[in-house]
Chains A and B, each alone.
Chain A
Amino acid sequence: MKALARLAWRNVWRHRRRTILLILVVAYAAFTIVFYWGFIDGYAESVLSAQARFVGAPVLVMTQMYRDDPDPEHALPDLSFVLSLRRDGRVRAVAPRLEFPALIRSAYAAESVLARGIDPEHEGATSAVPARLVEGRMLRAPGELVLGRGLAGRIDVRLGERAVVDTAGPAGPQAAGLILVGLVETGVPQVDDRAALVHLDDARRLTGTHTATALALDVARGAEDAVAEALRPLLPTGVAAYGPTEMLGDIGRDLEANRISSIPIAFLFALVAAASVTSTATVSVIERTRELGMIAALGLAPARLARVVMLESVITSLIGWAVGLAAGYATLAVLARVNVLGAAFHSYVGAFEALPLTGEIYAAVDPIYALYASMTVFVAGALAALIPAQRVRRLQPARAMRME
């Protein structure tokens, strides 16, 4: 066996051009499959993650009542479990939020908004909104207000000016005059046209609620839904954690439908790719019919000769498979960190208002893609190893040597 392996190894490198072609074909199949899924999943993840970080949070903890009926009267009953969440290794940050419907008035106009009371110290870790400040500064103390730039424009209020926030909740009709200290602009219309950030203390005073309507948690990108699921047993009764797929409802379903409809394409591609791998390997045997006939004539039993040929295919396919996976995952690793896809889309599409995207599209990296690619290469490799080996087994040395 060892001798056969050595023979196969030497054959692989004697036909360098052929070998390189087969390696490239296998690598292309593996690379394309890994890249395809990284792109499809990454796009879906980017939409979810952008939506989560701008509109909600990676994971939101709230009462089940609040989820059905988002009103401050269904706020969290107490915040004593925050400490245990902060200690959990999967949770990178916790920020309390108190959201309430309000009317925001300037001297000229009024608009109804869903105001968000935040803890300025922690909010930045769970939301991308504070980082998108385009004018002024972030909230520091009670009495201050930060608005989406579109909203501020429509009610015509400028930095340093006062706006009035009206609300009616458990505490009855309440109003507070707040100074506008900063403007945010994210590219997400839901934020730019509607965001009103106030200090958590102001929100508590206006609504008469002493806790928060939700806790925003920061967790790793791609792990949101799993962490939300895992945290549920640790929460008090009536309180649950929600990941973006659940919070986004129909958007999540649409993304899932997109993913399902990309499966047939991937399958058809695997078919064509497998055919080209098999054909390349077969050709490399046919090309050497005479040479193989010579080896057979020298006394190598057809079964063992078939094994040599099979080993050659396996070695070459393995190299191609490894090269393809390495290149595929390296590309995804770069695309998962650097916003190349987003820039490419952006230069073509121009704007992203139709989707809750912010111009950032990152590829996903999931070990399962290696399995998809390996299945294709395995099937193709098996055919590539068996079909030519079968030919070899039927080889008649005298005829083969005479063949052109």
Chain B
Amino acid sequence: MLALAWRSAWRHRARSIGAAFAVGFTVWIGLAFLGITYAYRDGWYVTLTDMVGHVQIQVRGYRDARDFRDRVILDAATMRRRIEAALPGSQAAATLEIPALLSGEDRARGVLLTGLDQPGALRDRLAAKYLHNGQLPGPDDLDGIALGGALARTLQVTLGDAVYAYAPGTDGTGASAYTVVGILHFPDPTQDARSALLSLPAAQDLAAPGAVSRFELHFPEFRRTTDEAGLVHLRRRIQAALGEDVEVETWRETYPALSDLERTLRPLVMFFVGLFFVAAGLLVVNSIYLSVVERTREFGVVIALGARRGRVMGMVLAESLLLCATGASVGLVSGLATVARLARGFSYPGSLGDVVEAYGVPRVMYASVGSADVAIIAAFVIGIGVLAALWPARVASRLEPVEAMRFVA
């Protein structure tokens, strides 16, 4: 039956090649579209996890705590030792966030002071991405502060100027003077107007000696959301090792909205790819229908010789599936080749690269597709192969042998 379908499909070469090409083209578009979307997603993922870590460790009940003291891990040094004992060689960043009032000569604004203690590589990436002018405060710098650009403008200060911080209701000195050593630029205007970075020791002196708001664990081997299969297990292991005083959360639990948004990407892309497949499927319908009409007499003979209707429908279906499969395999090979090329790294042309970079996507991105995506695309191909055959198959199976044999188009 396959051989028969093969021969019928190629009887009209131009038409069949046209329909198969449309299917292949659609498969190619689908794979390339997915590959680029995933490149975007993974770029965004690296930026996000660089900022917040893959796993966060915070004090239990931190979400509902009102008092500043109830929102921090008080004995950070002990907790760090326990983390290192549980995960030798892990990269942990420590952060202390303090709501405070920051003033220049004349103006004062409410800010979120962030004390940072990061591994060197992350620190360099942070500087490369957001530092606009000057430098970040050094790891043990008790005097330097880096401000968001909008905040610096509002306070009317620039590099080398003094700013004063007040953090009432905390356990440290509660007030301190700093020198502006860096100006940052954050794409989000709210963040740009509220962010100020200190070294962790400086922040601890101001508000909470020895304490941190959270530890962020970074796992450089997780570069894609699809690498994360082991993350939940890892989280459980860390939670068990550190005890019940702290909450261990993956970034998905800490930022559920971002996680959900990430999960909508694939269905959204698949929806658009589906629209393409419907259009390509219509081409297949035409091709198959025409080939059925042209062979009306042939089908009449086949039925007269005793072929059952199911068998006739099967013949048409086989032809349609063969046509789609041929086109799809070409599309699959060229699509995977395109993705493989883009997987070596690509960037948006011209100023579009600047725009996406401002939005937390690296300039150079790496495409990828998973086997699940190829499976979904294959399901689309089989789906349109079957749907496109339905009507022509019905027409063929309903032929009356005598009339069909006498049929002329």
Contacts and interface: CB of A to CB of B under 8 A. Distances in A.
Given A265-B272, A403-B409, A279 B355 contact: no
Contacts of B287: 279, 283
B35 to A, nearest CB: 14
Contact of A276 (B108, B153, B286, B409): B286
Taking residues whose C-beta sits less than 8 angstroms from the other chain, chain A's interface range is 35 or more
Interface in B13-29: 18-19, 22, 25-26, 29
A153 to B, nearest CB: 8
A276 B261 contact: no
Contact of A268 (B29, B156, B187, B408): B29
B66 A289 contact: no
B169 interface: yes
Interface in B168-207: 168-169, 187-190
Given A101-B108, A112-B99, A269-B276, A250 B25 contact: no
B109 A112 contact: yes
Given A112-B111, A276-B280, A349-B264, A253 B286 contact: no
Contacts of B66: 108-109, 153-154, 156
Contacts of B358: 250, 253-254
A316 interface: no
A249 interface: yes
Contact of A110 (B168, B279, B356): B168
Interface in A347-393: 348-355
Contact of B355 (A254, A288, A351, A354): A254
B10 interface: no
Nearest to A274: B279
A214 interface: no
Given A69-B154, A265-B33, A348-B264, A404 B286 contact: no
B324 to A, nearest CB: 14
B187 A272 contact: no
Contacts of A354: 255, 257-258, 261
Nearest to A154: B66
Contacts of B286: 276, 279-280, 282-283
B256 interface: yes
A65 to B, nearest CB: 12
Interface in A245-268: 248-250, 253-254, 256-257, 260-261, 265, 268
A351 B260 contact: yes
B403 interface: no
Interface in A92-142: 101, 103, 108-113
A348 B257 CA distance: 11
B293 A350 contact: no
B20 to A, nearest CB: 12
B301 interface: no
B361 to A, nearest CB: 10
Contacts of A396: none
A71 interface: yes
B409 A269 contact: no
A327 interface: no
B256 A350 contact: yes
A355 B352 CA distance: 21
Given A269-B275, A276-B280, A113 B110 contact: yes
Nearest to B190: A190
Interface stretch (A24-32, A218-226, A300-308): A24-32
Interface string B55-72: 000000000001100000
A282 B107 CA distance: 74
Given A254-B359, A280-B286, A404 B280 contact: no
Nearest to A249: B189
Nearest to A288: B409
B282 interface: yes
A275 B21 CA distance: 11
A349 B169 contact: no
A250 B110 contact: no
Interface string B251-274: 000011110110110010000100
Nearest to A265: B272
Given A280-B282, A283-B290, A290 B408 contact: yes
B289 interface: yes
Contact of B110 (A71, A111, A280): A111
Given A272-B26, A273-B279, A275-B22, A103 B110 contact: yes
Nearest to B262: A354
A279 B275 contact: no
A266 to B, nearest CB: 10
A377 to B, nearest CB: 13
A279 B283 contact: yes
Contacts of A71: 107, 154
Nearest to B355: A257
Nearest to A114: B110
A349 B355 contact: no
Nearest to A156: B66
Contacts of B294: 404
Interface in A20-51: 21, 25, 28-29, 32, 36
Contacts of A249: 189
A345 interface: yes
B218 interface: no
Contacts of A254: 355, 358-359
Contacts of A283: 286-287, 289-290
A376 to B, nearest CB: 11
B319 to A, nearest CB: 16
Given A254-B355, A276-B280, A279-B286, A404 B187 contact: no
Interface string B135-171: 0000000000000000001101000000000001100
23 contacts: A21-B285, A25-B282, A69-B153, A101-B108, A103-B101, A109-B169, A110-B169, A113-B110, A154-B66, A250-B359, A260-B352, A268-B276, A272-B25, A275-B279, A276-B283, A282-B286, A287-B293, A345-B264, A349-B257, A349-B263, A351-B257, A403-B408, A404-B408
Given A279-B283, A287-B290, 18 more contacts: A25-B282, A28-B282, A32-B279, A69-B154, A113-B110, A250-B358, A254-B358, A265-B272, A269-B275, A275-B18, A287-B293, A287-B409, A349-B257, A352-B257, A354-B258, A355-B261, A404-B294, A404-B409
Interface of A: 21, 25, 28-29, 32, 36, 68-71, 101, 103, 108-113, 153-154, 156, 168, 190, 248-250, 253-254, 256-257, 260-261, 265, 268-269, 272-273, 275-276, 279-280, 282-283, 286-290, 345, 348-355, 403-404
10 smallest beta-carbon distances between A and B, as pairs: A112-B110, A353-B257, A276-B282, A250-B187, A351-B257, A257-B355, A349-B260, A272-B279, A354-B257, A283-B286
Interface of B: 18-19, 22, 25-26, 29, 33, 66-67, 99, 101, 107-111, 153-154, 156, 168-169, 187-190, 255-258, 260-261, 263-264, 267, 272, 275-276, 278-280, 282-283, 285-287, 289-290, 293-294, 296-297, 352, 355-356, 358-359, 408-409
